[in-house]
Structure formats: C-alpha cells, structure tokens
C-alpha cells in the first residue's frame, strides 16, 4: 500500500476515534461533501465540531477548503447587491409659447412724412396680428415699434416713428386687443432694412419710393400658447 494512502487511513482512523469520544459519528472520506475532504462530517453531512464550537479539520485541509461556518475570515463574502440606479426625474416639458413678430409691408407702409395707418395696413394687422392673439392663452406684452426712412433729421424722424407706433396701438385698442402691457417706441431712422438699397443721387421722388419699406411698424407679441 502506498505510504500516502496508509497515512491518510491512519489519520482518518485517529480522527474517527477522537470524534467517537466526543459523541460524533464520522463518515468516510468518500461520503463527505464533494470536493472538500478537509473537514470531518457526521452522518447527517453536518460539519463535526468540538465542544468549543470549532470545526474538526483533516490533515488535508488547506485554506482553499475553508467553509463559511468554520473559517469566515477565509471565505470571500459575496458583494452586497448594488442599489438600482435611480432614474433622474423627467424634466417638465417647456411651456409652449405664442411669441411672434409682424412688420407692415408693401402698400401697408406709411406715406412719406405721415403717420396715418391706411386701409391696407389695418387689413394686415387684422390677419397677421389680431387673428393670432386668439391662439394665445394670454398676452404678456405687445411691443409696437415705429420706423422711418433716412430722409430728414434724427429729431424729426424720431418723433414721426413714435407717432406711427401710436397709430398702430390705437387701432389694436379699437379692435379690443388685450394684453398685460402694450408698449410703443420709436426707432427713428436707426434701423433701416439692410436689403433696401437706394441711391441718394436718384430723383427725390424715386428715392422716396425706393425707401418705402423702411417706413414701417413692427409688432412683437409675447405670451404662452393655449
């Protein structure tokens, strides 16, 4: 018989005698828990322990055979489950807006040196401003800005632009336009339309006709949509 087998059998025999003295019944190595012959087990398959609660080990025991109930410090503890990721709260949808801007165009622009709103201008305000106000939940601001062409002094054009803005405000008021605030301002000749190119050397009448798009009023509306 090989020396190793003889030694193992003698070791098991000695441990069996010791376990019997302690009132334990030890099974043969082949009947122990699979892949762990480093401990003694009773007939129930329970690890045999001394009166001090210590597990009995065989001479074959290695740290790799450590059991959680016998060698808790040697057994790798399972990592605690990671907490489920907390979903970020959904951002509330941005409120819809009813903001828009409209400038009187073409035949609706003002005659040279005048601040009278013509019929075409009123029709454009009806279709492009007043009708859109109905789609707003409320109107926080209506800003009306008057403009002039570049002919004339800054002082004259400033006053004229303010009168044109007031003419549009008066019309919107007459139509029942409601807003938390209706403001008017004049920009004079400081904000000419870049695309309007007119040669100052041409006859005055032609120049006035060419600069007509600049003689306008712009209406800006701010508010939430329905």
DSSP state of 65: G
In sequence order, the β-bridge partners of residue 39 are 57
Query: CATH assignment of 100-222?
Result: 3.30.1330.60
User: Is residue 15 predicted with pLDDT exceeding 80?
Assistant: no
Res 31 pLDDT > 90:
no
User: Cα–Cα–Cα angle for 169, 106, 149, nearest 5°?
Assistant: 75
116, 143, 200, 223 from 164: Cα distances, Å = 7, 13, 24, 24
Over 50: is that where the pLDDT of 28 sits? no
Domain ranges of the chain: 3-65, 100-222
Q: What pLDDT sits at residue 157?
A: 97
What is the pLDDT averaged over residues 40-51? 78
Mean pLDDT of 111-120: 95
Q: What is the pLDDT of residue 41?
A: 78
- Taking phi first (over 0 means left), then psi (-120 to 50 degrees means alpha), and beta for anything else, what does residue 41 get? beta
Residue 146 CB partners (closer than 8 Å, separation 6+): 115, 160, 161, 162, 163, 164, 165, 166, 168, 184, 185, 186, 187, 216, 217
Residues 170-199 have a mean pLDDT of: 95
Task: Summarize pLDDT for 188-222 with one digit per residue, the tens.
Answer: 999 999 999 999 999 999 999 999 999 999 999 99
pLDDT at 183 over 90: yes
DSSP 127: I
164 vs 134, which has greater pLDDT? 164
CA-based radius of gyration for the chain: 48
Q: What percentage of the chain reaches a pLDDT higher than 90?
A: 54
């Amino acid at each position: 018989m090989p020396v190793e087998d003889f030694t193992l059998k003698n070791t098991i025999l000695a441990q069996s005698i010791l376990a019997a003295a302690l009132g334990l019944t030890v099974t043969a190595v082949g009947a122990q828990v699979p892949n762990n012959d480093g401990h003694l087990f009773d007939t129930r398959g329970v690890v045999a322990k001394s009166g001090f609660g210590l597990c009995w080990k065989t001479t074959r025991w290695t740290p790799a055979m450590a059991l959680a109930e016998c060698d808790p410090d040697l057994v790798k503890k399972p990592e605690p489950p990671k907490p489920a990721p907390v979903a970020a709260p959904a951002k509330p949808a941005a409120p819809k807006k009813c903001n828009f801007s409209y400038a009187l165009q073409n035949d609706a622009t003002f005659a040279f040196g005048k601040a009278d709103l013509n019929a075409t201008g009123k029709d454009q305000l009806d279709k492009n401003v007043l009708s859109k106000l109905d789609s707003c939940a409320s109107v926080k601001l209506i800003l009306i800005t008057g403009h002039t062409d570049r002919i004339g002094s800054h002082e004259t054009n400033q006053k004229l632009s303010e009168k044109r803005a007031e003419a549009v405000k008066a019309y919107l008021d007459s139509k029942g336009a409601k807003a938390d605030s209706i403001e008017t301002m004049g920009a004079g000749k400081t904000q000419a339309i870049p695309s309007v190119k007119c040669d100052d050397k041409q006859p005055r009448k032609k120049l006035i006709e060419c600069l007509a798009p600049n003689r306008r009023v712009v209406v800006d509306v701010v508010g939430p949509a329905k």
